[in-house]
């Protein structure tokens, strides 16, 4: 019922836009990848994703407190995603080679 009320209110106020949340997309992907979900497919966990959210939020907050520009903040989050993907692939390769 609350969702319907929100939709009606948004339509009456002309407040809905298609790009809401677009600025948070990189943080969402980073949190899921840092939480242990593989970008190449596979399973993740809610607890891992929660841990990833806490890590990314802490890093983002620290960058803001250090007065780092938004451009460099996005680069840092992108590097975190790259590092998490590389670690995931290396661990996956080690597991497959040790099982042979």
Structure confidence at residue 89 (pLDDT): 83
Structure confidence at residue 16 (pLDDT): 67
Domain assignment present for residue 91? The answer is: yes
Task: Note down the domain range covering 26.
Answer: 18-98
Domain assignment present for residue 87? The answer is: yes
| Count of domains forming the chain | 1
Domain assignment present for residue 10? The answer is: no
Structure confidence at residue 99 (pLDDT): 63
Reported for 96-100, long-range contacts at CB under 8 A and 24+ positions apart, including other chains, are none
Structure confidence at residue 69 (pLDDT): 95
Distance CA 86, CA 52 (A): 16
Domain assignment present for residue 50? The answer is: yes
Strongest mean pLDDT among 23-32, 67-76, 87-96? 67-76
Distance CA 64, CA 69 (A): 8
Question: For the residues 71-92, what does the mean pLDDT come to?
Answer: 89
Domain assignment present for residue 7? The answer is: no
Strongest mean pLDDT among 7-21, 23-37, 72-86? 72-86
Domain assignment present for residue 37? The answer is: yes
Domain assignment present for residue 23? The answer is: yes
pLDDT tens-digit profile of 19-69? 767 778 888 889 998 888 887 777 788 999 999 999 999 999 999 999 999
């Amino acid at each position: 019922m609350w969702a319907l009320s929100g939709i009606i209110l948004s339509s009456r106020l002309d407040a809905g836009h298609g790009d809401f949340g677009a600025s948070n997309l990189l943080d969402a992907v980073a949190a899921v990848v840092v939480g242990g979900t593989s970008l190449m497919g596979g399973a993740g966990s809610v607890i891992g994703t929660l841990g990833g959210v806490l890590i990314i939020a802490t890093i983002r907050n620290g960058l803001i407190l250090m007065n780092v520009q938004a451009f460099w903040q996005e680069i840092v989050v992108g590097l975190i995603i790259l590092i998490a993907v590389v670690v995931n692939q290396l661990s996956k390769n080690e597991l497959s080679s040790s099982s042979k």
